[in-house]
A and B are shown apart, each in its own frame.
Chain A
Amino acid sequence: MTTTVGIDPVTVEIIRNALNAAAEDMNATLIRSAYTPIIYECGDCVVALLDAAHQVLGQSAGLPIFLGNLETCTLATEERFGRGVWAPGDIWILNDSYLGGTHLNDITIFGPVFVGTELVGFTASRAHWIDVGSKDPGGSMDSISIFQEGLRMGPQKLVSGGADQQALIDLITTNVRFPYPTTGDMHAMIACIKMGEKRLQELVVRFGLDTLEQARDEIFTQTEILERDVIAAIPDGVYAAEGVLDNDGIDLDTPVPIRLTITVAGTAIDFDVTGSADQTLGPVNCGAAQAVSALRVGYKLLVSPDLPGNGGSFRSMTTQVRDGSVLGARSPAACQWYFSHLGLLIDMVARALAPVLPDRVAGASHGDSMIILTAGVDPRVNREFVSLEATVGGWGGWSGSDGESALINNVNGSLKDIPIEVVETRYPWRINQYRVRPDSGGAGRWRGGNGVVREYEAQADMSVSLWFERSRQPAWGLFGGQDAIGPDVVVNPGRPDERRLLKANGMAIKAGDVIRCATGGGGGYGDPVERTAADVRSDVADRFVTVEMAQVRYGVGPE
């Protein structure tokens, strides 16, 4: 193949690598300087370098759910204040859920990049702040309006002409519970923005804007060609999937349906979620930008998992989101748990396209963060504590392999569990059990991964909040693979006051009480009958499957 543009392929490739490296340098700067583990350990952040037309030049791998919507923030700012608002030395901040799409904890900081007087692009970063002043520390399980969820900012100038806007910074630090780490993370994000600015300026000076723009067009075209080749191979047609959240966290009896229709025509692919539920009273809503992100994640997982994202990505893709729906929320919808249906949506993309991409998809995963949040006073040191843990679960099997057990869910990046030795040292808890939950993954030719059981015994009186999802529709299997078993939380198992619940806000717990949290497994892939007896017996030996279920689900008895 011959290139059709008047720029040599060597320069294009050097620039392509340089743009991706610039994004990596921004990301390294943010992670190096960040104060809170949710950023530097969990990687709950993303950065991007944009051109003057808000197209992505380079982007870090980052948290998938933040994929490809940073440009909505620079665009929204420009729509509100006009193109003339951009000035050298300015840095902006924004966290409005209806603009950025996520919850208020996700802060986007961005700025224009100038070379001389010419606006050549933008740099942007988004990271999760541990607290933005919601009614409960770190976020609530039961908010019913965005006004309970903390400080909400449309586009604001954080730095003007190189000078920190101290009045705005004071406003922020007086509205959040942990001002030290918050300002630490804010400065890390500013350093990241400045790193991106420096790198983009260096590239413009080194190559010239004309060359850079020619290279950009060529790079976007390469990405577009690679993605369209994959879409073209999918037979034209309409593919659909339906999913459901247990409830909105307030009205526990009413499920929240999510509906996805995918239409493939030639090299174009359309994602339509307009049939999903209306926005809810409880906090499971998100802005439309975030629904688009989730769909892009689903698309990327199947179409271009290894390709760095840029302005040529997603050109084959269109999306339809309904204003006023749970995926396109309007003020004052509560958005704290904006990601529960997004994780579901990502699984649903794979389900819808399974018939035509059987080798790329997988059975559904356990699907949500499975949160236990506790607060109280640790009597050993007489100090207040707050702990927040996400619980790992099973992922779906696929053609060629069993699904993984005990893995963090898809919207939580590279989050790790908290070691038992750290939990028991820091908080008045004892962990009696932490084990893989046998039989929780769906049976199949390729078995779904298992969830876990994590059992806590309180060493002091305290309050406990829970967010465990996906019990109405546990992870589904594909191609004859069986569905998984969903989550199960039991307070005081085996005692007269035993009770089961999956969501709670500020439940009182006494010293000696036990909470046993079990997470769901992943869906199976292919008919279990096709699994060899040797593999099933190996599963029994490794305690993935009990002797009983080996017989019931696979018809395999002991040798």
Chain B
Amino acid sequence: MRKIVYKRFATDISAANATYSKKFDLDKNIKRVLGLQLTSERPDLLFYRGSQRLEINGDELYPEGYDSRLLQNGLDVPIDVRFADLGDGVLSGNGEVKISYRDADATLAAFAAYSVALILKCEIE
């Protein structure tokens, strides 16, 4: 029977109009990444200001400039569809997750320090 775990990786955004690149390591027992989503304690800033490039196991999932809002959820979203579909899953391989998040000015969201959390839905062995 397939076992699912959720892994959370957070990045602090401390300055406006900057790019934040971070690398995270998946646990060795993670076989495949099935889905992902982005959250923040300031969902408005993430929505209007954020974009990112995301790579797992050397494989680019989302290119530079991919708006963060496309990976966010609202309260009305059913629980079962809150994760972005990665097709048949991404092999964890070397276990490296790389995110390059860019904060950019937006007229509807003035900057204040916030954090961005990447949540991965993973299958373990």
Co-assembled chains A and B: no
What is A's interface to B at a CB cutoff of 8 Å? Answer: none
What is B's interface to A at a CB cutoff of 8 Å? Answer: none
